[in-house]
Structure 1
Amino acid sequence: MIGKVALLDAIAGTNRGLLASVAQKQAILAAIANLEDFNPTPRPVEATNLLDGNWRLIYTTSKSLLNLDRLPLFKLGQIYQCIRVETTSIYNIAEIYGLPYIEGLVSVVANFEPISERRVQVKFKRSIIGLQSLISYSSPEDFIQQIAAGKKFAAIDTALNSDRQQGWLDITYIDDDLRIGRGNEGSVFVLSKT
């Protein structure tokens, strides 16, 4: 699909948006809007076979995510959003790198509830921030299994009040390997399936 190729070309070299110039950001947003017009999945929330799985963030306008790269001595590594439709769970995982042996992890666990054919309500349940070595982090899949098993981590592991910590996400495009979402704070997210 030409629109998809155009979007991926526009995103290339922007390091998830960290390095995007104003002109690049405008071109990317135009490419996103164009692709959204040709969403092959008219009811994305109901396409659970497409939605379920591990997604890697390839572009965002979210300042809260991009600001993780601004921590002293640290750089933002991969960011994953892992969706488990069966348990209506979302695992957001950001890998942080810096000095040797002090790689970090910032993770938020949430539940989602479909509220329309393209919107989900997201309620944040748990936040985990710590060193990858102390958490025994090796991969998103292994980490999610530990969370699902109820493990408490040697980290800042905090329960969140889901009544106050919530938002929504519109899934505006989804196919076998690309997903675009727009959040309640005006942020755009482009993810590829891993």
Structure 2
Amino acid sequence: MQTCAALTVSAPRSGTLRLSSRSTKSRNAEQVILECLQGVKGRGKSGMTPELLEKFDAAVLELERAGGIQAPTASPQLEGRWKLLFTTRPGTASPIQRTFTGVESFVVYQEILLSGEQGARVYNIVKFGRLGELKAEAEAITDSQPMEGFTPRKGPGIALFGKSSVNTPAAPDLRIDFQFDRAAFDFKLLPFKVPYPVPFKLLGDETKGWLDITYLSADGTFRLSRGNKGTLFVLTKDPPAKQRLLSAIANGDDEAVLAIAEELAADCPESKPATSGAAEGKWRLRWSAQAEDANFLQKKLSGQLRNYQIIGGSAGRGRLENLVELGVGIRVRALAACEPSTSARTSVYIDELRLEVGGLRLPFPIKLDRPGNPGYVDWLYLDEDLRITRGNKGSIFVHTRERDEQ
């Protein structure tokens, strides 16, 4: 998948919002649904009292009547990763759907991409905690994204796989027709993916289905959908991992930061981060988890507001500089030689450490041959704006690129 160390494209035309007096009612109905789902187990109706179920069904009806964004399948608000909160599982649902959506320990997502190099795609993803995930992939079409030669599902199908409705969509740009073409388990302990044992090419119509978007909120964060087998889905937009990471840092949620950092590390966009030109530049430290045996200065200075690492560029090719600004004109600067030792590791040899007060440079005496020098940095994640690294003592660092020199 990648060699980092382990740890949307807009639709062609935008949907428009139905402006009416129901906007406030819709927001209230969304909140009612979320409150009703707080005690639900396994993403089903178990755990709902009759009173809650009545409120839930009324709120769903209210939203589906309101509709939210018109032509939702033509709106870029539909794209992205959605987290499944709730699903009805009628007798028409397939055994696979009833199994995976009903297990509380699994997290279920749906990713929708309406345009791109591969065309419109839908991805259903089941995450098994730290073990890995199952991803089922489907090609898709909408009224605004047709595909030549694609034939939507016809007929109710085989009972074993769940009976399908033959209803036509209530209006244009409400339905996504799809056909699953591959699926695989991706276990983190294995260096390869395990194909899901379904002969998609032999099943014909049974690999096809459709999803009607019966409600899409104005801000694109809340969705109701109904599938071809009569299932109701309640989903909320899952923000991109980078956004969730920075939010967790801002909220001081260290446990969430580490979990999201691990998620990002599993999908590093740079195949050889240590040798990538994207590694160079000025990076600002946003968060760190210091190892117990990290050095004294590292522990004390890691929480400073202006803590930077500069690689190459102004620091010089093959050079690395750690810069901490303690106050106006007061800085601690560590200078080092650096070079890639593997595709995901940079060796660091500190050769100078000094305190700067105004124009004065006060060197710290350091032993160049001390244990831990040279050290190294493992690149867990790297893109143009964000990097996550691990030092040789086990400390974890999150940096964002500093675009403007200060």
TM-score band by shorter chain is 0.7 to 0.9
**Aligned alpha-carbon RMSD (Å):** 2.6
Q: Distance in 2 between matches of 1:80 and 1:69?
A: 10
Counterpart selection for 2:139 from 111, 114, 118: 111
**How big is the shift at 1:44?**
1.1
Structure 1 unmatched runs, 5+: 136-152
**How many percent of aligned residue pairs carry the same amino acid?**
26
Matched, 1:180 2:224: yes
* Post-superposition CA distance 1:101-149 (Å, at most 9, x none): 7x352221011111432011111111213534326xxxxxxxxxxxxxx
Counterpart of 1:187, as a letter, is: T
Query: What TM-score does the superposition give when structure 2 sets the normalisation length?
Result: 0.38
Counterpart of 2:177, as a letter, is: Q
* Post-superposition CA distance 1:36-64 (Å, at most 9, x none): 112221211111x1111111111111354
Counterpart position of 2:347: none
Q: Distance in 2 between matches of 1:154 and 1:8?
A: 35
Counterpart selection for 2:204 from 160, 163, 169: 163
Matched, 1:79 2:108: yes
Q: Distance in 2 between matches of 1:8 and 1:69?
A: 18
- Contact 2:123–2:135 (Cα < 8 Å) also in 1: yes
Q: Which has the higher helix share?
A: 1
Query: Are the structure 2 counterparts of residues 67 and 21 from structure 1 closer, same or farther at C-alpha, using a change threshold of 3 Å?
Result: farther
Query: Are the structure 2 counterparts of residues 69 and 180 from structure 1 closer, same or farther at C-alpha, using a change threshold of 3 Å?
Result: closer
Matched, 1:32 2:60: yes
Query: Are the structure 2 counterparts of residues 21 and 65 from structure 1 closer, same or farther at C-alpha, using a change threshold of 3 Å?
Result: farther
Counterpart position of 1:52: 79
Counterpart position of 2:120: 88
Counterpart position of 1:120: 176
Q: Distance in 2 between matches of 1:106 and 1:19?
A: 25
Query: Are the structure 2 counterparts of residues 9 and 75 from structure 1 closer, same or farther at C-alpha, using a change threshold of 3 Å?
Result: closer
Q: Distance in 1 between matches of 2:101 and 2:195?
A: 19
Counterpart position of 1:139: none
Counterpart position of 1:68: 100
Counterpart position of 1:145: none
Query: Are the structure 2 counterparts of residues 105 and 22 from structure 1 closer, same or farther at C-alpha, using a change threshold of 3 Å?
Result: farther
Counterpart of 1:112, as a letter, is: A
SS of residue matched to 2:99: helix
SS of residue matched to 1:36: helix
Structure 2 unmatched runs, 5+: 1-26, 144-171, 239-406
- Contact 1:18–1:66 (Cα < 8 Å) also in 2: no
**How big is the shift at 1:76?**
3.4
Which has the larger displacement, 108-117 or 183-192? 108-117
Query: Are the structure 2 counterparts of residues 129 and 59 from structure 1 closer, same or farther at C-alpha, using a change threshold of 3 Å?
Result: same
Counterpart position of 1:3: 29
- Contact 1:17–1:66 (Cα < 8 Å) also in 2: no
Counterpart of 1:127, as a letter, is: A
Q: Which runs of 4+ in 1 moved over 6 A?
A: none
Counterpart of 2:195, as a letter, is: I
Query: Are the structure 2 counterparts of residues 122 and 20 from structure 1 closer, same or farther at C-alpha, using a change threshold of 3 Å?
Result: farther
Q: Distance in 2 between matches of 1:125 and 1:22?
A: 40
Q: Distance in 2 between matches of 1:37 and 1:124?
A: 30
> How many residues matched?
169
Query: What TM-score does the superposition give when structure 1 sets the normalisation length?
Result: 0.75
Q: Distance in 1 between matches of 2:123 and 2:178?
A: 11
